[in-house]
Structure 1
Amino acid sequence: MVALPSGLLGSLDPTSDRAVFRQIADQLREAISRGSFTEGSKLPSESELVEHFGVSRMTVRNAFSMLQGEGLVSAEHGKGVFVRPRPRVRRLASDRFARRHREKGKSAFIVEADAVGSRPEVDNLEIKEERPSPDISTRLGAPRRVLVRRRRYLLDGHPVEFAVSYLPLDLARDTPIAQPNPGPGGIYARLEELGHTLDHFEEEIRARMPSPQEIKTLQLASGVPVIHLIRTAYDTKGHAVEVCDTVMAADAYVLNYHLPAT
């Protein structure tokens, strides 16, 4: 067998009913998980794995394909297979919308980016007036028209989420919320300046596989799911003032919740 670093990869189990290529994928996955292969590092070549495990080249390729389908690795033609970099955002659900951040002129995404030392960007911005879908209309108390803000968020140049905010048009029309840059603290700071002091948020979260358009927008690797989050913001009068429909790359986020026990 080829002399890979000691303990990096083991041997195959001939008594196992698990396919050989899956056993190889299991070992590589475990090595990635324990940090033997870090983000951006190159995995052993096909030839090295063929010699190490005593298998065919097609078996090794099937193992690599399995890991690519899980979004763990990416192949670069003529260079090899590499562990995919995955920028991680720790979304502190109980803190990210705290008023103290808005008072400092920071939106929730900037708060998250600062926490991980990344450079935040927003692109693909679109602002328009629309008739709401039945679901959005129900969540917002049945407005006839809504102001819609669509945008994509990036960290260090990597797309991590796409969000669409819906606000009652009578509330948002002819305000900074309708401008490309709503100002320090984002649209929630502007809502509070308009007299809609925020009281609480409700979020619905589910995981699913992405649509073809979401794969393109978020530049997702094969096999990477998305987190679909719908948040409704309420003011102190109990009125829903915004619904935000967000799709996040699941491999870019860690959702962190502080839940009091009383």
Structure 2
Amino acid sequence: MEQKVSKYIIIENDIIESIKRGELKPGDKVDSESVLKKKYGVSAITVRKAFNDLINEGYLYGVQGLGTFVTKKQMIRGLTSISFSEELLQQGYKIDMIIDSVEEVTNKDIAEILHVDSDSTLVCVKRVRLANNEAIAYHTSYISTEKLSLEQAQTIKTTRSLYKTFAKYNLIPTWVNENYSVKEITDINVLNQLSLKKGCPSFFVKRMTYDSMDEIIEYAETYFNKDWYSVTVNIKA
């Protein structure tokens, strides 16, 4: 005997299919509760159940007094690749970056992380990660000038990738250690680059990149726009 599918599931599936086909795009308003009640011949409770499920699953969001809208597509980090750019490409995003600055600095605390003398010169590369032409992350990377000179680091302006720049000068990352937390963004420049308001919470990631000899190549700090970023971790027994 064929099992009857609940009406709210039919509504959910139809909306999801409309999103996948591109008929409903990020920011589009979906049909109102009254329209869907009439279209599917259901009660308000059934429509609200469908909306609540789709909001909880990240497909929709509601604005009181205005309606229900399609959410932006998040970049879901599966932690499957060392390269953030590669993960974006695998998910079908068009990627690019804006180089904010490439300069030499000194920083005692970061020099200690990089296992160099406290007064050593470091290369600092700051850039904005773009996905589908929207700013989703602000990266700040530090590399000892013993490994990468300022002149060499400047080639990121043509390679458009820090890891391609590393490869150009025989720096081969093989593994990384990342620490995730939630942190308010107070740096005005970062806020402006990500088009966010002061005090906006973000995913904050500290990252240390190592080569095959377990020598540290890079220390990086990244602010991710929370509306564009989530992390999925698979754990096996």
| Common fold by TM > 0.5 | yes
TM-score if structure 1 supplies the norm length?
0.61
Q: Is the Cα–Cα contact under 8 Å of residues 172 and 178 in structure 1 kept in the other structure?
A: no
Aligned twin of 1:18: none
Aligned twin of 2:55: 33
1:209 is aligned to 2:184: yes
Residues 138/33 of structure 1: CA separation in 2 closer, same or farther (3 Å cut): same
Residues 141/39 of structure 1: CA separation in 2 closer, same or farther (3 Å cut): same
Aligned twin of 1:138: 112
Residues 8/164 of structure 1: CA separation in 2 closer, same or farther (3 Å cut): farther
Query: In structure 1, which of residues 96, 102, 118 is the aligned counterpart of residue 81 of structure 2?
Result: 96
Count of equivalent residues: 197
Aligned twin of 1:200: 175
- Gaps spanning 5+ residues in structure 2: where? 1-32
Superposition map of 1:6-155 within 5 A: 6=37, 9-10=44-45, 30=52, 33=55, 64=64, 80=66, 83=69, 85-93=71-79, 95-97=80-82, 108-134=83-109, 136-143=110-117, 144-155=120-131
Q: Is the Cα–Cα contact under 8 Å of residues 227 and 250 in structure 1 kept in the other structure?
A: yes
1:5 is aligned to 2:27: no
Instruction: Report deviation, 1:228.
Output: 0.3
CA distance in 2 between counterparts of 1:221 and 1:252 reads 15
Q: Is the Cα–Cα contact under 8 Å of residues 34 and 44 in structure 2 kept in the other structure?
A: no
1:242 is aligned to 2:218: yes
Structure 2 residue identity aligned to 1:157: N
SS at match of 2:217: strand
Instruction: Report deviation, 1:211.
Output: 2.6
Instruction: Report deviation, 1:172.
Output: 1.0
Q: Is the Cα–Cα contact under 8 Å of residues 205 and 228 in structure 1 kept in the other structure?
A: yes
Instruction: Report deviation, 1:123.
Output: 1.2
State the percentage of identical aligned residues.
13
Aligned twin of 1:168: 144
SS at match of 1:191: helix
CA distance in 2 between counterparts of 1:122 and 1:28 reads 38
Superposition RMSD in Å: 3.7
Residues 236/118 of structure 1: CA separation in 2 closer, same or farther (3 Å cut): closer
Residues 221/33 of structure 1: CA separation in 2 closer, same or farther (3 Å cut): farther
Structure 1 residue identity aligned to 2:74: R
CA distance in 1 between counterparts of 2:53 and 2:198 reads 20
Instruction: Report deviation, 1:132.
Output: 1.9
SS at match of 2:93: coil
Instruction: Report deviation, 1:192.
Output: 4.6
Task: Report Cα offsets for 1:197-229 as digits up to 9, x if no partner.
Answer: 433211111013333634433224799631000
Task: Report Cα offsets for 1:29-88 as digits up to 9, x if no partner.
Answer: 7265168x9659xx6xxxxxxxxxxxxxxxxxxx73xxxxxxxxxx9xxxx566364231
Aligned twin of 1:50: none
Residues 129/224 of structure 1: CA separation in 2 closer, same or farther (3 Å cut): closer
Structure 2 residue identity aligned to 1:89: M
CA distance in 1 between counterparts of 2:187 and 2:54 reads 28
Residues 176/222 of structure 1: CA separation in 2 closer, same or farther (3 Å cut): closer
Superposition map of 1:220-235 within 5 A: 220=196, 225-235=201-211
SS at match of 1:87: coil
